[in-house]
Amino acid sequence: MLLAVSAPAQHETPMYWRREFRGKAEQVRFVRAFAAHLLADFPALDDVLLVLDELSVNAIQHTRSGDHGGRFIVDLSMDVAGVIIYVTDQGGPEEPRLRNLAELAEGGRGLLTVDALAATWSWTGTPEARTIRATFPAQSRREI
């Protein structure tokens, strides 16, 4: 006789990575390489990389992270639900905000790109430091 034993389902352990980058434009490619290596099999990897690119450039151009000696931090979190990215900068005088189309000139499209590609995004912080968070589900809305 075969006896069946029930066991609780195993939850996949979330993965978490953090890296600090110098606040220089050439560091953006290293941010992309960092994420591409760790999230290689993630279905929405291209979207994640583009959003990381935008948030890294914003940190360098619009905050003290881009000043001499400045730094910014990238955190990646992945579990069965998807990926969450965080970019923490050294703050600045303005708060992150979406611009309307009438305000756009040569720049200002970064957060519009984030808004279009991420399932959700938000920010928290002060003029001294802030973190922008963006989420990417493991399955796109089209797959569900």
Domains of the chain: 15-137 (3.30.565.10)
Strand partners, 87: 74, 132
Q: Angle at which helices 110-117 and 45-62 pack, to 10 degrees?
A: 150
Strand partners, 129: 126
Q: Going edge to edge, which strands form the sheet with 129-137? A: 15-22, 71-79, 82-89, 129-137, 120-126
> Could you tell me the pLDDT band of residue 103, with boundaries at 50, 70 and 90?
low
Cα torsion 52, 56, 61, 63: sign: positive
pLDDT in tens, 61-72: 999 999 999 999
**Which residue type sits at 64?**
R
Quote the mean pLDDT of the chain.
87
Q: Express as a percent the part of the chain with pLDDT over 70.
A: 81
Q: How far apart are CA 121 and CA 81, in angstroms?
A: 16
> Could you tell me the pLDDT band of residue 144, with boundaries at 50, 70 and 90?
very low
